[in-house]
């Protein structure tokens, strides 16, 4: 710490702080336009000028000047105020005075500073700019006439998003922010540039002319999409969520959001939401009262083990616990599961065996604290974009090394110094086993590892996975495998990351055990910047596992439940928040099962394909209308409160399950808060947490690791077939599960399914970008638009799994790799 004086006040600040940061942390306000705490100092706007006595009273920018011992600073002398007024006059010289119709009014830093410094006249005269307004982007309006050249949009796009869509163009008075070749803005649509723009130069088009900022109520919440656990501030007016608001102090991500979190909120107030219970009569779903619908459902739930349930990992911890309680204690069935039965197996079966716990022994915060990041599959960016931002910053700002093994290249592959090792699809476990074998052969394992349970069995099993043997199967060279092993083992701190989800069948218990073996062999566990981070797909996937909403030995998993529906042993199926007809593998199998089951109950936000087949449909509430807790992928437990009032004819899943428990003669919890007290008492790592404490600050559920080396079973290599390509599925950057289809923002930029293929395969098949082709497999066919890209290797095609209109499960039966043919 250093001692300094700011406006005659003795203060202290860290040695690394700038004058601006020192002043802010000591309660002294210095105006600024070009600063954001996530970005490197830039010094563009000159509003933060201060006087430093040791520099003979010269005016210097506070945001780029580091503090020194004994520094004496004055922030608001008459000369400083005069200089700031002149800066504002110069900024306003070419700035259009269109505040009455600018959406930024009320939240505009330039407007606020002009008011604060009473700049009501301008000594300078010049013509206003007449740049063409860019309406090319469906989500972001770009008006360079209002730009003050702070550079924050270009800097955040480069430093954090690592896309580089914006930059400075031209020089002098003609300088402006623009895109390459002065084209329209075409980017990742994350909206980071909007969040940091201090004026109305960059606007969110879905929010335009909806409301003034001062009329919005700011409601803190947690994103309802992926498992990252990003904090949100929702802008609410007239009980409608109209936008998301930026707060640089919010969450580990400092307010940074992806396209889904920033622009995917529209489903909350969608006109397509269900608003009344529906009961099937004479083959048609007709409106019914809640009492009638619940009576019908309760009567059907009195079936013991002939009743089964499929839940969504978007439900709160309290709702999942109550759903489990309903099934076990009141229905008398242990047949319940979530995420298609396999998307949680990396945790519930893999980590459970390797680490003795069903959670990751690392956190998102470790990304910035490690020396080497080992990422399995470049899709990690698409599945969890904000974690991708953390990786971007780690590599670009901190020089952290990045190694990737993947079946295709991706956004992360473009980072400086990133090494992407592209292997054949479905060979991940073999590659990881070969890395483990190389670590043992080169004596890179920690000395005490031979005392870990399972060491002898693993060492014996790995004899079949020499780098030379595996290279012939996976497409990597033996030297590549050895290099990955050397660099991972020799790093002081190394962190492994991989995504899981319904589109990643091969990221299962076998792969998670193979990953865990690497961290155990090299001793990279239980230390800062080390471990394994399994990135769960949905906002409460980790919570669903923590609450135990998956089958035990005497229960059926999701796939077994569907089989039992088909053969008649399950007669009543309760689906809460899931849409298996679109998101589960093998659409034909799922549809047949749901047609065969005697009685289907669905609680949902929308009339999905699954809900349309139901005998009773119960209208549920979104995350913005309920209270409870979510647990993020790194076991951060966060409280969510209602941001808007729910429709009076809808119920939260907590209310639905409570009502059913009551009708079945059970004891219902008084509130979700009291139920969470029970959860914190009975769930490992949650001890001491309450709704009251979590309202103030989120908390990490502790993870106790008991390492054990497990022999992972690699799947057989997929044989190529003449005239066919290997298809894999997964997540698109703009979507999460099937829910994002109902968010207008994601659908604006990615409205339909597609097949992505390599340039070489496209040339061989005489297929061009944007052609429509028929993709056929043994289970069916789909007509899809073509994307020809450089990231896909020859012989591979990629189809995302989110879309109801062209569901990939029509041609995918759940195999890690499916051989398909493409015809025009």
CATH number of 345-535: 3.40.228.10
Q: Could you tell me where in the chain the CATH 3.30.70.20 domains are found?
A: 130-267
β-strands 72-74, 49-52 pairing: antiparallel
Structure tokens at 287: 């409106």
Please report the DSSP string for 217-248 in residue order: EEEEEE-SSSTT--EEEEEEETTEEEEE---T
The answer to whether 315 touches 342, Cβ cutoff 8 Å, is: no
Phi-psi region of 304 (alpha: psi -120 to 50; beta: other; left: phi over 0): left
CATH 3.40.50.740 spans which residues of the chain? 278-342+542-687
Collapsing DSSP states into helix, strand and coil, what is residue 787? strand
Over pLDDT 90: what percentage of the chain?
Answer: 95
Give 287-295's long-range contacts (Cβ < 8 A, gap of 24+): 290/649, 290/651, 290/659, 293/616, 293/618, 294/656, 294/659, 294/660, 294/663, 295/663
Express each pLDDT in 575-617 by its tens digit: 999 999 999 999 999 999 999 999 999 999 999 999 999 999 9
Q: What is the pLDDT of residues 778-806, one digit of tens each?
A: 999 999 999 999 999 999 999 999 999 99
For the chain, give the mean pLDDT.
96
Q: What are phi and psi of 708, to 5 degrees?
A: -150, 135
pLDDT greater at residue 795 or residue 184: 795
Tell whether the model's pLDDT for residue 174 goes beyond 90: no
**Cα(65)–Cα(54) distance, integer angstroms:** 13
Q: How much is the average pLDDT of 752-776? A: 97
Please report the pLDDT score of residue 642 as a whole number.
Answer: 97
Mean pLDDT confidence for 174-191: 90
* Strand bridging mode 49-52 / 59-61: antiparallel
| Rounded Cα gap, residues 537 and 205, in angstroms | 28
CATH of span 2-76: 3.10.20.740
**Contact predicate 376/574, CB 8 Å:** no
> Where do the CATH 2.40.40.20 domains begin and end in the chain?
725-823
Mean pLDDT of 367-385: 97
Cα distance between residue 635 and residue 229, in whole Å: 9
Split at pLDDT 50, 70, 90, the class of 537 is very high
Backbone angles phi, psi at 431, to 5 degrees: -65, -45
**pLDDT tens string 407-416:** 999 999 999 9
pLDDT band at 113 (very low <50, low <70, confident <90, very high): very high
Strand 725-730 versus strand 796-800 pairing type: parallel
Please tell me the predicted confidence (pLDDT) of residue 182.
81
Kindly tell me the sign of the dihedral angle through the C-alpha atoms of 606, 608, 612, 618.
Answer: negative
Residue 183's pLDDT band (cuts 50, 70, 90): confident
| Locus of tokens 């790093």 | 491
Is the pLDDT confidence value at 657 over 90? yes
Instruction: Give the lowest-confidence range in 125-129, 147-151, 629-633.
Output: 125-129
Q: Which CATH number fits domain 130-267: 3.30.70.20, 3.40.50.720, 3.30.70.380, 3.40.50.300?
A: 3.30.70.20
pLDDT tens-digit readout, 62-101: 999 999 999 999 999 999 999 999 999 999 999 999 999 9
Radius of gyration of the chain (CA): 28
Q: Which residues contact 329 (CB under 8 A, 6 or more apart)?
A: 666
* Helix, strand counts (H, E) of the chain: 26, 33
Residue 750 has a pLDDT of 96
State phi, psi for 667 to the nearest 5 degrees. Answer: -95, 120
Residue 254 contacts by C-beta under 8 Å, 6 or more apart in sequence? 37, 38, 248
Q: Tell me if the domain spanning 725-823 has CATH number 1.10.3720.10.
A: no
Q: Compute the distance between CA of residue 268 and CA of residue 621 in angstroms, rounded to an integer.
A: 9
Residue 599 to residues 202, 307, 606, Cα–Cα distance (Å): 51, 9, 19
| H/E run at residue 196 | helix 192-196
- Section 353-361 average pLDDT: 97
CATH 3.40.228.10-classified regions of the chain: 345-535
Largest CA distance in the chain: 89
What is the band of 718 on the pLDDT scale with cuts at 50, 70, 90? confident
Residue 382 and residue 410: Cα distance in Å, rounded?
9
383, 410 Cβ separation under 8 angstroms: no
Nearest-CA neighbor of 546 among 750, 766, 360, 710?
360
CATH architecture of 278-342+542-687: 3-Layer(aba) Sandwich (3.40)
């Amino acid at each position: 710490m250093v001692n300094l004086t700011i406006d005659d006040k003795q203060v202290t600040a860290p040695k690394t702080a700038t004058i601006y940061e020192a002043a802010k942390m000591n309660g002294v306000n210095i105006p600024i336009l070009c600063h954001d705490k996530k970005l490197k100092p830039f010094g563009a706007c000159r509003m933060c000028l201060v006087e430093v006595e040791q520099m003979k009273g010269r005016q210097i920018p506070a945001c780029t000047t580091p503090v020194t011992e004994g520094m004496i600073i004055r922030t608001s002398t008459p000369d400083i105020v005069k200089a700031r007024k002149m800066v504002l006059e110069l900024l306003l010289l070419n700035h259009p005075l269109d505040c009455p119709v600018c959406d930024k009014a009320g939240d505009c830093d330039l407007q606020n500073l002009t008011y604060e410094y009473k700049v009501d006249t301008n000594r300078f005269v010049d013509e206003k700019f007449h740049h063409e307004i860019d309406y090319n982007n469906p989500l972001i309006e770009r008006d360079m006439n209002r730009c003050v050249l702070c550079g924050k949009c270009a800097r955040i796009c480069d430093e954090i998003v690592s896309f580089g869509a914006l930059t400075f163009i031209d020089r002098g008075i003609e300088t402006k922010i623009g895109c390459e070749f002065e084209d329209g803005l075409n980017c990742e649509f994350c909206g980071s540039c909007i969040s940091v723009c201090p004026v109305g130069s960059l606007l969110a088009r879905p929010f335009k002319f909806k409301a003034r900022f001062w009329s919005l109520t700011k409601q803190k919440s947690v994103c309802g999409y992926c498992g990252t656990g990003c904090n949100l501030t929702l802008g609410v007016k007239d009980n409608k969520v109209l936008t998301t608001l930026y707060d640089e102090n919010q969450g580990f991500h400092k307010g940074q959001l992806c396209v889904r979190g920033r622009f995917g909120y529209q489903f909350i107030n969608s006109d397509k939401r269900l608003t009344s219970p529906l009961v099937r009569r004479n083959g048609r779903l007709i409106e019914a009262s809640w009492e009638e619908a619940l009576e019908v459902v309760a009567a059907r739930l009195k079936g013991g083990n002939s009743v089964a349930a499929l839940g969504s990992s978007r439900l709160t911890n309290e709702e999942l616990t109550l759903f489990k309680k309903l099934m076990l204690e009141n229905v008398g069935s242990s047949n319940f599961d979530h995420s298609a039965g396999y998307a949680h197996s990396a945790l519930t079966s893999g980590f459970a065996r390797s680490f003795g716990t069903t959670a990751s022994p690392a956190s998102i915060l470790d990304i910035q604290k490690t020396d080497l990041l080992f990422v399995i599959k470049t899709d990690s960016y698409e599945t969890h974009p904000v974690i991708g931002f953390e990786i971007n910053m780690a590599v670009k700002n901190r020089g952290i090394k990045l190694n990737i093994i993947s079946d295709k290249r991706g956004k992360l592959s473009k980072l400086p110094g990133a090494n992407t090792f592209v292997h054949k699809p479905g060979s991940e476990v073999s590659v990881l086993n070969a890395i483990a074998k190389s670590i043992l052969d080169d004596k890179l394992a920690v000395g005490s590892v031979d005392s870990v349970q399972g060491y002898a069995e693993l060492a014996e099993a790995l004899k079949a996975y020499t780098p030379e043997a595996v290279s012939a199967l996976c497409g990597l060279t033996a030297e590549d495998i050895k290099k990955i092993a050397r660099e991972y083992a020799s790093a002081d701190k190394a962190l492994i990351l991989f995504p899981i989800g319904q589109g990643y069948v091969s990221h299962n218990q076998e792969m998670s055990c193979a990953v865990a073996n690497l961290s155990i062999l090299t001793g990279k566990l239980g230390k800062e910047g080390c471990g394994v981070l399994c990135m769960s797909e949905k906002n409460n996937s980790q919570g669903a596992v923590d609450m135990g909403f998956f089958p035990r030995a005497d229960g059926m998993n999701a796939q077994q439940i569907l089989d039992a529906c088909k053969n008649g042993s399950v007669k009543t199926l309760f689906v809460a928040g899931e849409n298996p007809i679109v998101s589960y593998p093998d659409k034909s199998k799922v549809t047949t099962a749901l047609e065969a089951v005697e009685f289907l109950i669905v609680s949902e936000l929308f009339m999905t394909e699954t809900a349309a087949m139901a005998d009773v449909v119960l209208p549920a509430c979104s995350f913005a209308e309920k209270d409870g807790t979510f647990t993020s992928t790194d076991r951060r437990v966060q409280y969510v409160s209602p941001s808007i009032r729910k429709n009076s004819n809808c119920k939260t899943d907590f209310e639905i399950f409570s009502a059913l428990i009551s009708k079945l003669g059970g004891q219902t919890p008084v509130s979700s808060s009291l139920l969470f007290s029970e959860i914190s008492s009975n769930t490992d790592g949650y001890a001491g947490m309450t709704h009251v404490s979590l309202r103030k600050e989120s908390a990490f559920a502790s993870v106790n690791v008991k390492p054990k080396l497990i022999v992972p079973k690699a799947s057989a290599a997929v044989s190529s077939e003449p005239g066919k390509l290997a298809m894999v599925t997964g997540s698109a950057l703009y979507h999460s599960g099937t829910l994002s289809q109902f968010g207008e923002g994601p659908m604006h930029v990615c409205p339909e399914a597609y097949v992505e293929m390599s340039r070489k395969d496209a040339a061989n098949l005489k297929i061009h970008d944007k052609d429509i082709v028929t993709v056929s497999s043994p289970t069916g066919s789909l007509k899809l638009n073509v994307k020809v890209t450089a990231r896909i290797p020859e012989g591979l095609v990629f189809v995302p799994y989110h879309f109801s209109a062209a569901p990939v499960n029509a041609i995918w039966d759940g195999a890690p790799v499916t051989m398909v043919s493409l015809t025009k």
